[in-house]
């Protein structure tokens, strides 16, 4: 059960009936079209102490992501790759129904789906983050904090993660003659190969919508997130919620999301270049 959303069975059923009625006329409570995103606002470089950071607003949903880069040991099964760790938390200040405590299954799923998109799109060339193979590598930690929930945490968290990684800088480290890791004065960016874009859609009744709000998520049957790389390939996906999609709906989602991803990529790139200009 979504910790950040209050569910009441009676209200849920009433709302759902109302929502389905509205959606059958292709209308949404906030007057958006079925395939329209809410305004997406991306600001980067918002935390000076972080190597990279981004605040993302998707309508009233607000998240902030910060990147910290350290020197660490690689995973035993990938000795020649740097580390990437994505964590997500819905902070208690994010909604009346969020509670403090360790990440619950929703937050864990959120972090893992965001991580999968960044990792599988090969956004960061992790093979370039190795100092001593098998022993010392750069470790990129991305922490996503949800500040205000109003649905579609998956996409908002993904955009914040991607924008913060794309604008991260770090001191260049090197291995000296004695095999010690030393920090140089040179500041370098992360080796970025492309910008992955996550698109989340929801099925309510027979209608598919993009970028669901909290109200829509409270009554949705199923949720599906797909992540696309720059060439329009799929690199991660996750169906969520105890509802189903039929085969045609899956194909419709794949086709629609691909188009939407292109549109959102421009917004993310805009947020990233804003930062580069200073």
Partner 1 sequence: MRELIDEKGLRIDGRRADELRPLRIEVGVLKNADGSSYIEMGKNKIVVAVYGPKEVHPKHQALPDRSVLRCRYHMAPFSTDVRKPPQPSRREIEISKVIREALEPALMLEEYPRTAIDIYLEVLQADGGSRCAGITASAVALADAGITMRDMVVACAAGKVSGQVVLDLNDMEDKEGEADMPVAIMPNLNQVTLLQLDGMLTPEEFEKAFEMAMNACRRIYEVQRKALMDKYFGKGEAGEE
Where along the sequence are the contacts to partner 1 (CB under 8 A)? 9, 76-77, 105-106, 108-109, 111-112, 116, 120-122, 224, 226, 229, 232-247, 249-251, 254-255, 258
Question: Is the CB of 209 or the CB of 236 nearer to partner 1?
Answer: 236
Please name the residues in contact with 39: beta carbons below 8 A apart, sequence gap of 6 or more: 57, 58, 59
Question: Is the CB of 45 or the CB of 240 nearer to partner 1?
Answer: 240
Question: Is the CB of 103 or the CB of 191 nearer to partner 1?
Answer: 103
* Token pair listed for 105: 């299954």
How near is the Cβ of 53 to partner 1 at its closest, in Å? 23
* E strand residue ranges, 59-165: 61-72, 83-90, 130-132, 136-148
How near is the Cβ of 262 to partner 1 at its closest, in Å? 13
How near is the Cβ of 233 to partner 1 at its closest, in Å? 5
How near is the Cβ of 246 to partner 1 at its closest, in Å? 6
How near is the Cβ of 68 to partner 1 at its closest, in Å? 19
| Whether 200 contacts 211, CB under 8 Å | yes
Question: Is the CB of 140 or the CB of 257 nearer to partner 1?
Answer: 257
The alpha carbon of residue 60 and the mean position of all alpha carbons in its chain are separated, in whole angstroms, by: 16
Question: Residue 21 and residue 205: Cα distance in Å, rounded?
Answer: 10
| Whether 51 contacts 169, CB under 8 Å | yes
Question: Is the CB of 122 or the CB of 169 nearer to partner 1?
Answer: 122
Question: Residue 19 and residue 246: Cα distance in Å, rounded?
Answer: 20
The alpha carbon of residue 164 and the mean position of all alpha carbons in its chain are separated, in whole angstroms, by: 11
How near is the Cβ of 49 to partner 1 at its closest, in Å? 26
Question: Is the CB of 60 or the CB of 244 nearer to partner 1?
Answer: 244
* Token pair listed for 206: 């027979």
Please name the residues in contact with 92: beta carbons below 8 A apart, sequence gap of 6 or more: 98, 99, 100
How near is the Cβ of 139 to partner 1 at its closest, in Å? 17
Question: Is the CB of 30 or the CB of 99 nearer to partner 1?
Answer: 99
* Token pair listed for 142: 């991305």
Question: Residue 137 and residue 264: Cα distance in Å, rounded?
Answer: 32
């Amino acid at each position: 059960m979504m910790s950040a959303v209050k569910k009441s069975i009676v209200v849920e059923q009433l709302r759902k009936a109302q929502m389905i009625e509205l959606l059958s006329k292709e209308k949404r409570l906030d007057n958006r079209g079925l395939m329209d995103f809410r305004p997406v606002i991306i600001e980067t470089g918002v935390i000076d102490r972080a190597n990279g950071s981004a605040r993302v607003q998707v309508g009233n949903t607000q998240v902030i992501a910060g990147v910290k880069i350290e020197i660490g040991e690689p995973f035993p099964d990938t000795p020649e790759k740097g580390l990437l760790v994505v964590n997500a938390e819905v902070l208690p200040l994010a909604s009346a129904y969020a509670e403090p405590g360790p990440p619950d299954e929703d937050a864990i799923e959120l972090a893992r789906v965001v991580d999968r998109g960044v990792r599988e799109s090969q956004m960061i060339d992790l093979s370039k983050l190795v100092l001593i193979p098998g022993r010392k590598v750069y470790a990129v930690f991305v922490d996503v904090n949800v500040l205000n929930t109003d649905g579609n945490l998956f996409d908002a968290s993904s955009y914040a993660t991607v924008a913060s990684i794309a604008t991260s800088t770090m001191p260049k480290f090197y291995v000296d003659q004695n095999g010690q890791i030393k920090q140089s004065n040179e500041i370098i960016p992360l080796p970025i190969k492309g910008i992955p874009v996550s698109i989340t859609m929801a099925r309510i009744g027979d209608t598919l919508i993009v970028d669901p709000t909290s109200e829509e998520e409270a009554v949705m049957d199923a949720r599906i997130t797909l992540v696309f790389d720059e060439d329009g390939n799929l690199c991660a996906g996750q169906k969520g919620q105890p509802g189903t999609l039929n085969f045609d709906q899956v194909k419709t989602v794949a086709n629609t999301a691909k188009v939407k991803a292109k549109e959102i990529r421009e917004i993310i790139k805009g947020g990233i270049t804003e930062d580069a200009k200073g």
